[in-house]
Each structure stands twice: as structure tokens, then as C-alpha cells.
Amino acid sequence: MEFMENRELSWLKFNKRVLEEATDENNPLLERISFSAIYQSNLDEFFMVRVGSLTDTAITDKTKKDSRTGMTAAQQLDAVFTAVRRLQPGVEEAYRKNLEELSAFGFEQVTMETATDDERTFLELYFKREIKPFISGVVVNDALPFPFLKNKSIYAVAQLGSKSDVSIGIIPTAYDHGERMIPLGKGGMRFILTEDVILHFAHLMFKNYKVIDRALIRITRNADIMATGKGEEFRRNMEELVAKRTKLAPVRLEISDDFSNDALDYICKKLKIKNSRVFTSRIPLDVSFLFALQELDDSEELHYTKRSPRVPAVLSEKKSMFSQIKAKDILLSYPFESMTSSFIRLLQESAADPKVTSIKITLYRLARNSKVIDALCTAAENGKEVLVMIELRARFDEANNIEWSKVLQEAGVKVIYGPRDYKAHSKLLLITRKAVGGEFDYVTQIGTGNYNEKTSAIYTDLMLLTADREIAADAEAVFSGLLNGTFVENTNKLLVSPLALRPQILSMMDEQIEIAKSGGEGYIAAKVNSLCDKVIITKLAEASQAGVKIELLVRGICCIIPGVEGYTENITVRSIVGRFLEHSRIFIFGKAGKEQKIYIGSADYMSRNTIRRVEVAAPVEDEKLKKRIRDMFAVMMKDNVKARIMQNDGTYIHAERKDGEEMLNSQEYFYDEAYKRLEDKKARQEQMRINRSKRKPAKKRRVTKNKK
């Protein structure tokens, strides 16, 4: 359709926006280079998952088409490969430019060509003593087997012998105890990469052969896996699949330089990969080492201003979390407010509270040293009923979650794995506590992000804590469904996919359409990571045609194109890519007022979230909290530093500042706001203390006895 974009191409546009941060001079230099590494990490995952999935589809269902653009899987793959190649010059330019600018601060990546004579002598000795004993070269030809090449590992390859008789030498560049960055001075700021040294001395690994040509290669393998089964069988199947994933078919081959066509064709033949999937890079094939450079210099001018999550000003350290939530709903915003002093505190208090009878929670991604796991284990050991739904299919966290499930079971926690064929992506917690008179009180938490202390400091997310009994009843129904393998069909207040989320969202959009058709001001807004659900996109276009004003904040994939005449003129789309990963999801229906409906939750506007996963969104009903979310959304819509605006041809441009308009970076604004709220709270407390100290003590009455 004219107003719809292909999902994969839209994602590549998002990654281009990430790459643009690597060249944004408003970002400090050592922060800029991290965006190059993030771009590459994103692209690796894209090839492993999306390109892997499309590759499978192109083989098994050649006629299947993208419902939005009508492209077959093969056509999408061709378009993806073309787009990636077009991005590569910008990737290389950003890398070179940033490394060149960093040289003024003492950083220098050395090659064997730029190394000094003394350094080359040192490196030859280093290779012979510290590298060569721990690696081995393998010669392959038609008479010798081709070795298995690990996913995302770098190998030095050499064409050996004569051009008429192709033999290939292959050397792994990663080995036990080996450091990828070999320091050459300045505390490691002057360095050379191990693979460059190994490639240079490759001839020493094949003494009986003549090295005709050499290069570095790196392959990316398909990682699209899905396990079946129930209970412990499911966990065993997942463990086996995670192990097998590293051996799935290659979907991309990267090479460091021009290389003999015969030798390259031979490698492609052995890997069973087409030449169309070969990508040349003139910079290191893996730039993840750039993150390590950030640790070598702590100069303020090279880094972002240091920020740390604040203790939420709305919380009292003297009152229990349960009592504060019972008194009023609480909204928390990460990373600006601390997860440890709010959510983790709630879990720890609940684990120790003798009146708490049960804790139920869904887990998707966790920190490696998880305080959440510690609290849940403590609760179980203290005799509480603890039910944990842990999603073993969380992409690339499968192994981590499998291990955590074992830890939880050993502590006496009841662990379940969710419904067959549907991931449970919801962020939901339900705590039950004994109250006066034999009754029970409840605290329900609904969030937009994972219970991961590490990512809570770098992802923007929202969390609602409420004692609402209807929401608690809905949460109980969700956990009952997860336990029994069924889905929630009807709710009091929560939106719960796969059956009771998208229909309600469409219904609320219809309400705004009717308002607009009746001459009123219809309004729809949403902040999501991705928007590609065709049903929702079609409804948004219908709303636009009816005159509803629609404002969308979409960080990543956005398959609706705004401003297309006759379809989406009333839609605006913005994307914010900055210091923190925008991860919160907000749904707004209607203008400000009591009739306005606001939800936060775990679901994006993607069909995989709305109809193929268990997701939960909660209404924000407290008027103060609704205003806070409206204000946050308004600030993000005014961001003129990190925001891009989507045009009616699908391209993005940076938001421009109007004459006299101040720079507004929404993420920094929210951090400043969190700091200010806490400072204001401390000032009020100090003033109260001063006022109390100034009060004069009351005069004591003189008591006299009556004389007889």
C-alpha cells in the first residue's frame, strides 16, 4: 500500500539513525565510537534473526509475500543486501573519522604497515611466543575437509599453492587467554588487533606452502530457533537448540579486503553461501573492542556527563513500599529513577514480610547477578508461595534463563514456562498480603521494561505500582492462564494479549474516529519501539482520514508512512535515538480530561506482540500520573536534539530548532527533572526540620495546692 513500508527496510533505516549518532558532534568522542559498535551489534542480530528467517521462508515458501508491500522473501533479501551495502561507506567513514580525532588524545590503532621498526620486531617475537603456540592453521582443499567456523568469530584465510590448484589455509584468531587488543604503549591506548598480527604472519603457519593472497573473514549464522514441548521436556529441548544454534547455516560472510576470486568462490562453495551474501569491510570486522577504549580515558570531554538514577522523590524511606502503594498509585520512570530503591526494595520487603503470602511474577530478561532472583529465592525459603513464569525463549537470553530457572527451582520456587507457541513478554508482578479481619491486600506492578538492574540504568521505561483490586483480579487471571496454558478473554481493566489487547485498542481508536466525525477533536498518540501491525496501521490511516490528530513516537521499525495524501495527512511520526535506549510504551486515546485513556505496557504495535504473545498493558487512572505522562510525551514531541521526523517518502530528517528556540534533549531533560524533584524534596524536609527547631517549647503551668 502507498502508506506502508517494508518491515526489514524500515529496521535498516532505524539502524542508520543509530549510525548517525556515531557522527554527531554533540556526542563526546568516546561515546560516538560506541554507536559504531552498537550499529554493528544490531546488524549482527538482524542477520541472525530476520535475514535467517527470510532465508528459511525463501526456501520453504517462495510465493509468500509481505502483506504491507507485496514483496516475496527473495525480493526482501535482495533489497536488504542492497541497503546494507549502501550503508557501509558511512560505517567506515564514521569509524575512521572518530579514530583520527581520538589520536589527539593519545589513541591510535596501529597496523603492521604503520608500526615502527621496533614494534614490528616486538610483534614478531610476540606472535612466536604468545600466539603461535596456542593456535593452529588448517589446510583445506578438495581432498581435505572444511573446518567448522564459529558464528561471529574472525579467521585469517590464505590462498596457498598455485592459482591452478586452490588450497586454503584457515587460522582462528581467537584463542584461550588471548587478548584481542595488543598494547603497544600509552597504557594500551596505542594498540594493534591480534587478527592483524596473525594475518601478517600467516605464512609462518604454512611453511610448506606459498601464500598467494590473504584476508580476514567472519561469518554470521542463522539463529532463528523455536522449541516445543512442556515443562522439563521444554527446558531440555531449549538447551539442545541453544547449543545447535551456533552450528546453523551461514547467512552472511564478511571479508576484510579484496581477495582472490577463486579462493573466495571456493570458501563460499564450502560454506554453501551465495556470493551475493559476501560483504567487504575496510575496517575491523568486529568493532566491539571500541567499548573497551572507553575505559582507558576518563576525561570529562570524552564522555557523557555522569548520571546516576535518583531515589524516586515520591517514595518515603521511612514507610514500607506496600503501605505507600496502598495509599496511592505510584509511577516510576527509568533510568531517571532507581530500580534498586523502588522495585527491588518492594521485592525484598515482601520476601521478609511475614504477612505476605504469595509473590507471582513473569520474567523475560534478567541481570547476570540478579537481585530479583535473590529476593524471589529468599521469599520461597521464608515459606511464601512464589510462582515464576520464566520465558526460556527470550532471544539470546535462553541459556541465562535456563540457568536461572534451575536456581529458582532449587530454592523451592514453582517455575513454569508459559503457553506453547506463545512467548510471555509481559512485565507483571502480583503480591498478596494478609490484611486486618482475614482479608487480603494486593499490589500489582505492570511495567514496560524487564526486571534487569543493568538495563534499567540505560533503557527508558515506565512502571506502575497499584493496589487496585480490579487490576489485581486481572493479574491473577493472567497468572492462572499462564499456569494452565489458557488465554485471558475478558478483563476488568488490563489489556492482555493475545485475545484482549488489540480489539480494545482498535475500539478506543474507533471512539476517537466517532468523536472526529461528530465535529470534535479526536486524538490518538502512542510511543512504541516498533509499529508494523497491519490491522493497527490500517485503523490509524482510517482515523487520519476521519480527521483524528495522531502523534506517534516510534524508535525503531515504523511501517506507516505519515503525510501521504488521502491516507495519513493527520499523522506525524518521530523517532528518538540518543544516549539511552527508548523502550517505554505509552498508549493515549483522547484529549486531556477525565475521558482521556492512558495505558502503559509491554507490547509494541507489532502483530507478534498484539496477537502472538502474552502482553499486559495497564490503565493509568490517577489524574496526577496521567498529567505526568502527558507532559513526558509532550517533551519528547518537542525534542529538537535527538529526534528525527519521518517524511512522506519514508526518509527521516533531524528535528530543527526554530529561531530563538532552546535546545531540548528530552532524555537529559528528564534526568534534570528527577534530580530537581529529589533536591526539592530534601529542601522541603530541611525546611520542616528548621521550622520545628524554631518552635518555642510551651510554658509549663505552675501547679499550686489549695490551702485549707
DSSP class of residue 438 equals: G
Instruction: Give the mean pLDDT of 20-33.
Output: 96
- What is the spatial distance between Cα 320 and Cα 316, in angstroms, rounded to a whole number? 8
Q: Domains in the chain, ordered, with CATH?
A: 1-104 (1.20.58.310), 106-273 (3.30.1840.10), 321-486 (3.30.870.10), 496-664 (3.30.870.10)
Q: How confident is the model at residue 437 (pLDDT cuts 50, 70, 90)?
A: confident
| CA atoms of 159 and 384, how far apart (whole Å) | 65
pLDDT tens digits, one per residue of 272-325:
999 999 999 999 999 999 999 999 999 999 999 999 999 999 999 999 999 999
The confidence band for 235, taking pLDDT boundaries of 50, 70 and 90, is confident
| Percentage of the chain lying above the pLDDT 90 cut | 82
Residue pLDDT, tens place only, 64-84: 999 999 999 999 999 999 999
Greater model confidence, 41 or 59? 41
What average pLDDT does this structure show over 323-339?
97
pLDDT of res. 176: 81
What per-residue confidence (pLDDT) applies to 80?
97
Cα distances (Å, whole numbers) of residue 551 to 2, 134, 466, 565 = 20, 58, 28, 17
Q: Name 639's Cβ contacts closer than 8 Å, sequence gap at least 6.
A: 574, 576, 655, 664, 665, 666
Whole-number Å distance between alpha carbons of 525 and 597: 11
Residue 698 pLDDT greater than 60, yes or no: no
Which amino acid belongs to residue 218? R
Q: For residue 599, give the nearest of 428, 476, 491, 446 by alpha carbon.
A: 446
pLDDT(471) > 80: yes
Closest CA to 486 of 427, 418, 426, 425: 418
Among 174, 173, 172, 183, residue whose Cα is nearest residue 123: 183
The tens digit of pLDDT for each residue in 105-120 reads 999 999 999 999 999 9
pLDDT (mean) for 91-102: 97
Buried b (16+ CB within 10 A) or exposed e, 65-79: ebebbebbbebbbeb
pLDDT at residue 590 tops 50: yes
Buried b (16+ CB within 10 A) or exposed e, 230-262: eeeebbebbbebbeebeebebbbbbbbeebbee
User: What integer pLDDT is reported at residue 699 of this predicted model?
Assistant: 57
DSSP state letter for 305:
P
Q: What is the mean pLDDT of the chain?
A: 93
Q: β-pairing, 356-363 with 385-390?
A: parallel
What is the number of alpha carbons within 13 Å of residue 569 lying toward its C-beta? 5
pTM of the model: 0.92
Point out the residues that are catalytic: 425
Distance CA 82, CA 427 (A): 38
The set of residues, in sequence order, having a beta carbon less than 8 Å from that of 278 and lying 6+ positions away, is: 253, 254, 255, 264, 268
Question: Rounded to 5 degrees, what angle do the CA atoms 260, 266, 271 make?
Answer: 125
Q: Looking at the predicted structure, is the pLDDT value of residue 238 above 80? A: no
pLDDT in tens, 537-574: 999 999 999 999 999 999 999 999 999 999 999 999 99
Compute CA 660 distance to the chain's CA centroid, rounded to the nearest angstrom: 35
- Confidence band for 248, pLDDT divided at 50, 70 and 90: confident
pLDDT value, residue 436: 86
Alpha helices in 174-301 (DSSP H): 194-200, 231-245, 261-271, 290-293
- Position 221 confidence tier, pLDDT thresholds 50, 70, 90: very high
Q: Is the confidence at residue 244, as pLDDT, over 90?
A: no
pLDDT given for residue 697 in this prediction: 62
Q: What does the DSSP assignment read for 162-183?
A: -TTS-EEEEEES--TT--SEEE
| CA–CA distance, 94 with 283 (Å, rounded to integer) | 10
Q: In the prediction, which pLDDT does 708 show?
A: 41
Of 413-422, 450-459, 552-561, the least confident: 413-422
Among 242, 281, 220, smallest CA distance to 94 is for 281
- For 485, other C-beta atoms within 10 Å of its C-beta total 12
- pLDDT > 70 in the chain, percent: 95
166 pLDDT more than 80: no
Q: Can you say whether residue 110 is alpha, beta or left, with left for phi > 0 and alpha for psi between -120 and 50 degrees?
A: beta
